Chains A and B, each alone.
Chain A
Amino acid sequence: EAGVTQSPTHLIKTRGQQATLRCSPISGHTSVYWYQQALGLGLQFLLWYDEGEERNRGNFPPRFSGRQFPNYSSELNVNALELEDSALYLCASSLDAQNIQYFGAGTRLSVL
């Protein structure tokens, strides 16, 4: 059984551009979570999607947004990129909102 898959592995953008990160959950999982791991800031919760709806949001500005598709895959969009958005973005999925979260390998975003 495939785990959580994320693409791309690496992404290089310049300040002001937009970035789109993708995540496919484990088959059968309906909840998808996004976390940011920035240098010096640790792992922080970004967004939670379940059954196509945004259920919870971390302390991030509105230029961080996303969506969940009918097949439960998810997209994270970051608009108007800033240098401090450079980080490892990790996606996780769970069977439902109360269950164990399994993580993908992450997308490393570099903003130049």
Chain B
Amino acid sequence: GIQVEQSPPDLILQEGANSTLRCNFSDSVNNLQWFHQNPWGQLINLFYIPSGTKQNGRLSATTVATERYSLLYISSSQTTDSGVYFCAPTEGGGNKLTFGTGTQLKVEL
């Protein structure tokens, strides 16, 4: 099955800083979703982005499917951005999400 690697594994930011999270995947993908898992375990949908670029407020994401990677940009970070960020592609023709190991983000005052 598809392999998913996320980097960095851990990230500490000062409030207001910008960051880029990366997701590499080993095979062609049908879909790709980015999630934020809050401290209570809830997975919050951020983006559905099998290709191209999307923006939602301070967050944006880019997927380059031909080069098998996706990026999540967080600008002007806030303490509420803390948590774990997961990317999860689905393989071509499939439907199950394969999750990366996540990036643990902590935003400090």
| Residues of A bordering B, CB below 8 Å | 31, 33, 35, 37, 42-45, 48, 55-56, 58, 88, 90, 92, 97-98, 100-106, 108
* Interface size counted on chain B using CB atoms at 8 A: 20
Majority secondary structure of chain A interface residues (helix, strand, loop or mixed)? strand
Task: Please name 7 further chain A to chain B contacts, defined as beta carbons within 8 Å, in addition to the given A90-B41, A92-B43, sorted by A numbering.
Answer: A33-B97, A37-B41, A43-B97, A56-B95, A58-B96, A100-B45, A105-B42
> Are B40 and A105 closer than 8 Å at their CB atoms?
yes
Query: For the complex, what is the distance from the CA of A58 to the CA of B30, rounded to whole Å?
Result: 18
Cα A72 to Cα B64 in complex, Å, equals 35
CB proximity to A under 8 Å, residues B75-96? 86, 88, 94-96
Cβ of B101 < 8 Å from any Cβ of A? Answer: yes
Q: Which of A31, A105, A108 contacts B95 (CB 8 A)?
A: A31
- In the bound complex, CA of A53 to CA of B89 (Å): 23
Q: Is the CB of A90 within 8 A of B95?
A: no
Which residues of B does A touch, CB under 8 Å?
Answer: 30-31, 33, 35, 40-43, 45, 48, 86, 88, 94-99, 101-102
Q: Which 4 A-B pairs have the closest CB atoms?
A: A43-B99, A103-B43, A45-B96, A100-B48
Residues of B contacting A100 in the complex (Cβ-Cβ under 8 angstroms): 31, 33, 45, 48
